[in-house]
Amino acid sequence: MSEFDFGVILRALPFLWQGMQLTLLLTVLAMMGGILLGTGLALMRMWAPTPFPQLAAGYVNLLRSIPLILVVFWFYFLVPLAIGRAVGAFPSALIAFTMFEAAYYSEIIRAGIQGVARGQLAAAEATGLTYLQAMRYVVLPQAFRAMLPVLLTQSIILFQDTSLVYVVGLHDFLTAATVVAGRDNRLVELYTFVAVIYLVLCVAASYGVRCLRLRFVQ
């Protein structure tokens, strides 16, 4: 490795792109699943009768106190045991990320809903809207605006965290680069390239979040 050869990256681009596709797919699916499940958890925690709030709180606290890599491992081995057959690395990783992220999303969503002034609910109910209508037309639209930037920031973290899927043998972007780096013995070039791509994507996403925040604050 006497001198840098960045041509190796060009030649490996199709392979790296495949890895990136897996990374993006996993990020988007886990984000959607996580927000959906997280909303359910948040609603359960705020309004369901006992013992559901306690269960939801327990779930959130448990998932937030376990390292992500352990959760990924755990589902890889646990899900096949639970359903009696192998499910493959991708579905198990997707379940792990969804369930893990849901714990974080649910706290963001809960804070967003609780941040809407109580008087808003009273005002909406005073006009004859039912509780659910007041939530749907008055409270949730405001809560969503407040929480959107934080939800997206959490999703940027998720995007980076998906690189952990190498432990169950999935070829995400980072893993693909590792393969090429090992094969061609070009570690510096490949890992630098990976870092730059992550940097560019995350900075761009953060910038987008900041623009959204500014638009909603005014």
Residues near another protein (CB under 8 A): 117, 119-120, 122-130, 133, 137-138, 141-142, 145
| Helix and strand totals (H; E) in the chain | 9, 0
- d(CA 167, CA 128) in angstroms, rounded, equals 54
CB 131, min distance to another protein, A: 8
Contacting residues for 99 by C-beta, under 8 A, at least 6 apart: 34, 37, 63, 71, 75
How many C-beta neighbours within 10 Å does residue 191 have? 14
CB 139, min distance to another protein, A: 9
**CB nearer to another protein: pick between 142 and 153:** 142
CB 117, min distance to another protein, A: 8
**CB nearer to another protein: pick between 81 and 132:** 132
**CB nearer to another protein: pick between 117 and 199:** 117
CB 153, min distance to another protein, A: 22
In the chain, where does DSSP find H-type helix?
7-47, 52-64, 68-83, 89-115, 118-126, 131-134, 140-161, 173-184, 187-217
Whether 40 contacts 109, CB under 8 Å = no
DSSP class of 48 = S
**CB nearer to another protein: pick between 117 and 200:** 117
CB 150, min distance to another protein, A: 18
**CB nearer to another protein: pick between 134 and 170:** 134
DSSP class of 186 = -
